[in-house]
Amino acid sequence: MTATPTTLPAQGPARSKRGWKRVKKARAPTIKYTALLIFAVIVLMPVYILIVTGFKGVAETDPAHAWSLPSIWSLSAWHEAWTQLSPYMLNSFKLAIPATILSTALGCLNGFALSKWRFPGADIVFTFFLFGMFIPYQAVMIPLTELLSKLHFPAQLPQLALAHIIYGIPITTLIFRNYYATIPEDLMEASRMDGAGMLRTLWSVVLPISIPAFVVAAIWQFTSIWNDFLFAVFIITDPSQYPVTVALNNTTGSLVSAYNLQMSAALLASLPTLVVYILLGRYFMRGLMAGALKG
Amino acid sequence: MAKIAINGLTKRYPNGFEAVKDLTLDIGEGELLVLVGPSGCGKTTALRMIAGLEEISEGDLFIGGQRMNDVLEKDRDIAMVFQNYALYPHMTVAQNIAFSLKLARRPRAEIKKRVHETAQLLAIEEMLDRRPKQLSGGQRQRVAMGRAIIREPQVFLMDEPLSNLDAKLRVQMRGEIDALQKRLGVTTVYVTHDQVEAMTMGDRVAVLRDGELQQVGTPSQIYERPANLFVASFIGSPPMNLAEAAITQVKNGLAVTLGETEIPIPRELAARNGLDAWVGKSVIAGIRPEDIYEASRKTAKFQAEMQVKIDRVESLGASVLGYFSVDAAAPRAESVSAIPAEEVLSEAPLTGISGTSFCATFEPRAMLKIGDSAEVALDLDRLHFFDPETDAALLVEDTVETKKKK
Amino acid sequence: MKNIRRWGPGLLLVSPSIILITIFVYGLIGWNVKVSLSNWRQAQPTSHYSGIGAYQDLNHDAAFRQSLAHLLVFTIVFALGTLIIGWTLALLLDKGVKGEGFFRAVFLFPMAISFIAAGIVWRWLMNPAPGNRATGLNVIFDKLGLHALANQWYLDSNPVIGGIRSWGMAAMAMPAIWALSGYVMALYLAGFRGVPEELREAARMDGASELRVYRHVVFPHLKPVTLAALIIIGHISIKIFDLMVAIGGKQGFNTQTPAVYMWIQIYDRSDFAKGAAIATLLLLLISVLVIPYLIYTVRSERRS
């Protein structure tokens, strides 16, 4: 006859140490999820307001309907916001895109030199740059506006772009330097032994593998420049050249504006950076980590 | 191919630490010289100074008769194979290999031809369109070699090219690299920490320790006539047995007392080692495990027998290693150890065995067990003697090349 | 010096940036200090040295001192809020949950939005109108029965002890916390995950409960992260300017921080020397925070 299989001892009561832990383990994720979801709702609450209020007609923006969904979904606020803001959004694009490209390029060159083709005092230069990232820009604003106006630019937007390029040097350099630090040193040595000088090495060996850093730096710069208010409000005095943040503040800053217009305008003005964020969010996070200076 | 002359090469860091001390070495045309030693001995630093990747603090480097101290690495006509291969990750194998030629602006047809020839030589033709991350370690290693070979340089430098490969592959590649080097005839400096690699590959071997050259010679010179205790114990696996021993005058000549055994020394051996000057004093005596064997196995011209008790057995398959204790002091740890001084345990560690452990080789059919009593014979012609103060070998012959003091 | 061929090119590559930063950061800072010491107190620029008059004015300026107090309250609430929430979120996400990518994306997205836009929404949320005319969060509080929390938010910067009529600057900190908690979360998450798993496993094998593993293995690792977070949040707090303007407007006295006050000096009063003086003080404040931190970071980077 076949041997009777040995049976495992029955599971102990749930109060035994192991059983308790198992029960706890099953419950813990749900607590986590609930907490996370609550936080997520809180964080997204303003988005809800932006979208919902933007779709309301003027009649529904009164306190009684503060949080409810619109009964009639109206596009009037969006239309109005677009009319008011689109020229300024164009300004912002004309500002942000060239400035992003140039400051990213500068950051690449600097980051490369400071990490992979070093020179005596490279660390000092890096700290020298870093401090520029932390200063309150108010501390240079007055002389900056003076200096820029003396440079006789044809228009004000290029002045603002120049400011962003220059003051973006520290953060883009940081991003590239930290990224290049992860490239093994022997890759540079192999390139040198193959006969390449610094620029050739940068062009043929380093640049092709720099895409992640470029994306991170570009996203970060584009977002910072698009969202900037301080520099714009000091440097641009000609209203037709305002970037969208200044225009947004002016047209909706007063409490007289209808809520639906305020919200739709705010959301519209944020759309480009939001789109960039949604599409390329994980690079955003990497840019954040670069700015953290893990000590 | 070119001769390399190194004279008093020193690498000193700002904090005063000297990674390479006064290294003087000549490497002949077409020779494969291996730099071997424990980690931290300066071999890689020396290699990098030849390459131009490290600044030379003192001394002169001549390649092909030209002084290279101030020449940039890209102008030295040297190719290097890196330990981690350093392949360009975004380029294909073909592009990796061709890169240096592209930089030299060679015509495209020539580049194509030479890439194919090199790939053929290394049997990597099928991989020319792949990227490094698609290759195995061994394949990457060959691409790294291809990148160096295609340049037809004066000198090849190889920085532990096999240490990232698994053991079997390493053995295979050793032979291939050796054959390749012979075929191409390019002067090669090869760095490794593996003394087996050093012995099997080099035309000559240079042993370094703590930045100082210990001995340079052919593998058999290094093996048969080690210049000092360190070389004696570093080269050869299992390592040479070493213990303090006293030289005494006996009836027919001299004898060396190893533990409780008094071993008469053949006259030629005593003369070769100048032992007359050591009567009444202690020396360090050494004998390799393969030169101690079961007495019944064979007879050497001069041999001495010892009765020993086995306290440890290691079976290697083709042979068996039997360990026994000799009641004699071991040499100072710093003299022989490849382990950094801080890590050496001053007390006999976990084995609880006192005295010095000696190793002898046995045939598997001896069926050795712990606790066995065995009669072993020592091949006296293969005894080595060392000065306990200076660690230097007592051998008087001139065929040993040692570090030349300037 | 014979090595110059080696590193010369590197230096050359950075030199344009060195020149630009020297001029536009350090040079302009110096110029700003000069302005603060000049007699440029009206729309026409002048540059005669006039001494520390502007600074003395600030010393006697009640509104300025008030703005410093506002900054203090704001910074404390801001820092505590972001650190606690960021840390909590990171802790929740540390072990990895399903949809972690989604949650991370949600918590970080406020960083993509300008403070002006955020200010517009939060101004609505923190509408001070009570009762029937309430909108924003006051409505939610009423509905949830948390009447005590409904208040006038940032309107009045003097919270009444006992019955909170208004949260003052603490209210202003809320949108800032909303905007930056995600960032602190990212920092802490990296910190949590930087703890080698073997350390945690060794502790578990030694018999530690998960709680103990966190307390004794993970949290000690987080000290540098907390320091970095504090420095970064602190310096943002000192600089931040557009959020206050978007919510309180220029005329909101109760929500002025030195940064806003500086703007007012320049645009409304054309008192450039005073504005420059405030800017210099802001710079000093940040330097005290940041310079030791920078030195510490570069040193520990060099050591490792």
- In this predicted model, what pLDDT tens digit does every residue of C39-93 receive, in sequence order? 887 777 777 887 788 888 888 888 888 888 889 989 999 999 999 999 999 998 8
For residue B355, is it within any domain?
yes
For residue B400, is it within any domain?
no
CB neighbours (10 Å) of residue C50? 15
pLDDT bracket for residue A256 (50, 70, 90): low
In this model, does residue B52 exceed pLDDT 80?
A: yes
**Mean pLDDT to the nearest integer, B342-361:** 67
Q: Are B13 and B110 found together in one domain?
A: yes
Per-residue pLDDT at A27: 58
For residue B404, is it within any domain?
no
Closest CB from C85, C120, C224 relative to A294: C224
**Mean pLDDT to the nearest integer, A47-52:** 87
| Of B233, B257, B290, the domain-final residue | B233
Contacts of B82 in chain A (CB under 8 A): 186, 189-190
CATH of the domain at B31: 3.40.50.300
pLDDT tens string A57-112: 777 766 666 677 777 888 888 888 899 899 999 999 999 999 999 999 999 999 99
The closest of C103, C99, C86, C102 to C187, measured between CA atoms, is C86
Determine the distance in angstroms separating the CA of A212 from the nearest CA of chain B, rounded to an integer. Answer: 14
Q: Are B20 and B149 found together in one domain?
A: yes
pLDDT bracket for residue B161 (50, 70, 90): very high
**Mean pLDDT to the nearest integer, A116-123:** 91
Closest CB from A44, A117, A134 relative to C106: A44
B225: alpha, beta or left? (left if phi > 0; alpha if psi -120 to 50): beta
Whole-number Å distance between alpha carbons of C238 and C75: 8
- C2–B72 C-beta distance less than 8 A: no
The angle subtended at Cα A242 by Cα C28 and Cα C256, nearest 5°, is 65
Strands B384-386 and B373-379: unpaired
Whole-number Å distance between alpha carbons of A265 and A267: 5
Domain around B104: 4-233
pTM, to two decimals: 0.87
Mean pLDDT is lowest, of B239-243, B387-391, C48-52, C63-67, for: C48-52
B152 to chain A: closest CA residue: A194
- B147–A194 C-beta distance less than 8 A: yes
Number of domains in chain B: 2
B70 to chain C: closest CA residue: C2
Q: What is the DSSP string of C63-128?
A: HHHHHHHHHHHHHHHHHHHHHHHHHHHHHHHHT--TTHHHHHHHHHGGGGS-HHHHHHHHHHHT--
pLDDT tens string B84-139: 999 999 999 999 999 999 999 999 999 999 999 999 999 999 999 999 999 999 99
| Of B201, B233, B265, the domain-final residue | B233
**Amino acid at residue number B152:** E
In this model, does residue A289 exceed pLDDT 80?
A: no
Mean pLDDT is lowest, of A54-63, A139-148, B365-374, for: A54-63
Q: What is the ipTM of this complex?
A: 0.86
% of residues, chain C, pLDDT over 90: 29
Q: What are phi and psi of A227, to 5 degrees?
A: -85, -5
In this model, does residue B175 exceed pLDDT 50?
A: yes
Q: Are B210 and B151 found together in one domain?
A: yes
- Which C positions 244-263 lie with beta carbon below 8 A of chain A? 245-246, 249, 259, 262-263
Per-residue pLDDT at B321: 92
Q: Are B277 and B228 found together in one domain?
A: no
Q: Are B187 and B274 found together in one domain?
A: no
Q: Which residue has the higher pLDDT, B272 or B205?
A: B205
Closest CB from A49, A166, A223 relative to C125: A49
- C5–B55 C-beta distance less than 8 A: no
For residue B398, is it within any domain?
no
Q: Are B202 and B127 found together in one domain?
A: yes
Q: Are B326 and B193 found together in one domain?
A: no
Closest CB from C10, C117, C263 relative to A117: C10
Q: Are B76 and B139 found together in one domain?
A: yes
**Mean pLDDT to the nearest integer, B168-191:** 92
pLDDT bracket for residue A240 (50, 70, 90): very high
CATH of the domain at B252: 2.40.50.140
Per-residue pLDDT at C131: 57
Q: Are B133 and B270 found together in one domain?
A: no
Per-residue pLDDT at B384: 92
Per-residue pLDDT at C159: 44
Q: Are B194 and B71 found together in one domain?
A: yes
pLDDT bracket for residue B372 (50, 70, 90): confident
- Give chain C's mean pLDDT: 83
Per-residue pLDDT at C95: 82
Q: How far is CA B123 from each of CA B120, B128, B135, rounded to the nearest angstrom?
A: 5, 10, 13
Q: Are B126 and B256 found together in one domain?
A: no
Query: Mind listing the domains of chain C with CATH numbers?
Result: 61-303 (1.10.3720.10)
For residue B362, is it within any domain?
yes
**Mean pLDDT to the nearest integer, B14-22:** 92
Q: Are B48 and B73 found together in one domain?
A: yes
In this model, does residue C34 exceed pLDDT 60?
A: yes
- Check if the beta carbon of residue B34 is closer than 8 Å to that of residue B198: yes
Task: Tally C-beta pairs within 8 A across A and B.
Answer: 54
| Of B233, B258, B289, the domain-final residue | B233
For residue B47, is it within any domain?
yes
- Which B positions 51-110 lie with beta carbon below 8 A of chain C? 55, 70, 72
Per-residue pLDDT at A152: 82
**Amino acid at residue number C55:** Y
pLDDT bracket for residue C271 (50, 70, 90): confident
- C232–A131 C-beta distance less than 8 A: no
Per-residue pLDDT at A14: 39
Whole-number Å distance between alpha carbons of C107 and C87: 12
**Amino acid at residue number B229:** L
- C3–B55 C-beta distance less than 8 A: yes
B52 to chain C: closest CA residue: C6
Q: What is the 3-state secondary structure (H, E, C) of chain B?
A: CCCEEEEEEEEECCCCCEEEEEEEEEECCCCEEEEECCCCCCHHHHHHHHHCCCCCCEEEEEECCEECCCCCHHHCCEEEECCCCCCCCCCCHHHHHHHHHHHCCCCHHHHHHHHHHHHHHCCCHHHCCCCHHHCCHHHHHHHHHHHHHCCCCCEEEEECCCCCCCHHHHHHHHHHHHHHHHHHCCEEEEEECCHHHHHHHCCEEEEEECCEEEEEECHHHHHHCCCEHHHHHHCCCCCCEEEEEEEEEECCEEEEEECCEEEEECHHHHHHCCHHHHCCCEEEEEECHHHEEECCCCCCCCEEEEEEEEEEEEECCCCEEEEEEECCCCCCHHHHCCCCHHHCCCCCCCCCCCCEEEEEEECHHHCCCCCCEEEEEEEHHHCEEECCCCCEECCCCCCCCCCCCC
In this model, does residue C198 exceed pLDDT 60?
A: yes
- C114–A273 C-beta distance less than 8 A: yes
For residue B403, is it within any domain?
no
Per-residue pLDDT at B144: 95
- Give chain A's mean pLDDT: 84
In this model, does residue B9 exceed pLDDT 90?
A: yes
Per-residue pLDDT at A9: 40
- A195–B86 C-beta distance less than 8 A: no
The closest of A122, A100, A99 to A112, measured between CA atoms, is A122
- C178–A269 C-beta distance less than 8 A: no
Q: Which residue has the higher pLDDT, B323 or B351?
A: B323
pLDDT tens string C112-152: 999 999 988 888 887 766 655 566 676 666 666 665 555 65
For residue B401, is it within any domain?
no
